[in-house]
């Protein structure tokens, strides 16, 4: 399809601290709000590409916004060509390293660039990437919840058509992990697929101790039980457990993914579009997963994930955790437990400016 040539004119960067419909409690800390950096890539041709990144903590909000804004003089006047832009930025920041705030800023720019190209072509991002929109099965994602809350949450997930849920565990005693799992099953029924996430809260010794207990609970996967970069530990645990390990949300680029695959650290992959390197990084990760035979699920960012998973050969699950929805004119919609990329040009991110203004951090 013909794609008009675009040139970077400026970057408009805004920091917002948005409300969360439900705060996310984890064994490694609590997320009470959604600190987001919004990026509009303005081109000389009048097309604007849009993206956002998630900072996890309000303490990181302004530093991330500053880092994104600092990319403007580096790319101003350049063609909107994501692979070329990525190579330029990787070279510029090679000595510092492409992780952390730098990696987040580079991904924000990459995502906005792809969005701009799709808008200029007048097609949804999934179509620009060579695919077509289709319903992607989604799971409802929760934090650590009190057993007294589980009934209401599980019932709501069932009512919305979800056929899978993820809860965070990592209580002081594995018996409390099991109690939470069984309470969800009691309310949602055996037809509900269940995943659990430890958020890097266990030592290898403790994970090995809990492994046979969790194996008996018939969960689909166990996510990040150990420190994210402990490939050797996860490899040992993967052999000891029948339940598949899910890793990937903390892979900083395809190179981290390559090392994890080489170590046989997991049987399931979950790249985060922000940490893996934006759309460009995701496409590279999808190729690695196909080669290794790893099913790929997404980590947050449901708006972009709905476009990326249909072009991922080993597509598995889409995580539904709505961070940007309170700021969007049209948030991602769950229909019968699935999310489909919208048919509008680009990724479908259009800000509700009144709401953005309300939560703006200056």
Active-site amino acid positions: 168, 299
Q: What is the DSSP string of 34-86?
A: EEEEEEEEEETTS-EEEEEEE-SSGGGHHHHHHHHHTTHHHHTT-B--HHHHH
Measured distance CA(264)–CA(277) in Å, rounded: 22
Angle at 58 between CA 53 and CA 63, to 5 degrees: 65
SS3 210: helix
**Residue labelled with tokens 């680009």:** 346
Q: How far apart are the first and last CA of the chain?
A: 41
Measured distance CA(125)–CA(212) in Å, rounded: 43
SS3 255: helix
Residues 6+ apart with CB under 8 A from 261: 288, 292, 294
Whether the Cβ atoms of residue 33 and residue 20 lie closer than 8 Å to each other: yes
Strands 268-269 and 318-320: unpaired
Measured distance CA(99)–CA(106) in Å, rounded: 10
Measured distance CA(187)–CA(181) in Å, rounded: 10
């Amino acid at each position: 399809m013909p794609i008009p040539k675009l040139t970077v004119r400026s970057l408009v960067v805004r920091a917002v601290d948005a409300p969360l419909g439900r705060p996310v409690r984890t064994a490694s800390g609590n997320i009470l709000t959604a600190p987001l950096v919004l990026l509009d890539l303005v081109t000389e041709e009048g097309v604007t590409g849009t993206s956002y990144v998630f900072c996890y903590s309000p303490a990181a909000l302004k530093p991330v916004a500053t880092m994104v804004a600092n990319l403007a003089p580096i790319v101003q006047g350049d063609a909107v060509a994501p692979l070329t832009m990525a190579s330029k930025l990787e070279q510029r920041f090679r000595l510092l390293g492409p992780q952390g705030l730098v990696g987040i800023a580079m991904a924000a720019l990459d995502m906005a660039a792809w969005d701009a190209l799709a808008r200029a072509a007048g097609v949804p991002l999934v179509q620009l990437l060579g695919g077509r929109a289709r319903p992607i099965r989604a799971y409802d994602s929760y934090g650590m919840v009190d057993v007294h809350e589980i009934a209401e949450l599980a019932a709501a997930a069932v009512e919305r058509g979800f056929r899978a849920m993820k809860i965070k565990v990592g209580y002081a005693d594995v018996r409390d992990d099991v109690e939470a799992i069984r309470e969800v099953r009691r309310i949602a029924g055996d037809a509900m697929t269940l995943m659990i996430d430890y958020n890097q809260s266990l030592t290898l010794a403790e994970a090995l101790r809990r492994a046979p207990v969790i194996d008996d609970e018939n969960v689909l996967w166990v996510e990040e039980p150990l420190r994210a970069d402990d490939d050797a530990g996860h490899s040992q645990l993967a052999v000891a457990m029948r339940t598949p390990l899910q890793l990937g949300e903390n892979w900083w680029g395809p190179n981290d993914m390559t090392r994890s695959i080489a170590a046989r650290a997991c049987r399931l992959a979950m790249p985060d579009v922000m940490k893996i390197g934006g759309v460009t990084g995701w496409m590279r990760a999808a190729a690695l997963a196909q080669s290794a035979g790893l099913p790929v699920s997404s980590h947050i960012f449901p708006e972009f994930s709905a476009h990326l998973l249909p072009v991922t050969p080993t597509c598995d699950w889409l995580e539904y955790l709505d961070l940007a929805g309170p700021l969007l004119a049209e948030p991602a919609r769950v229909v019968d437990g699935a999310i489909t990329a919208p048919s509008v040009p680009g990724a479908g991110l259009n800000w509700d400016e009144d709401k953005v203004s309300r939560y703006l951090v200056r």
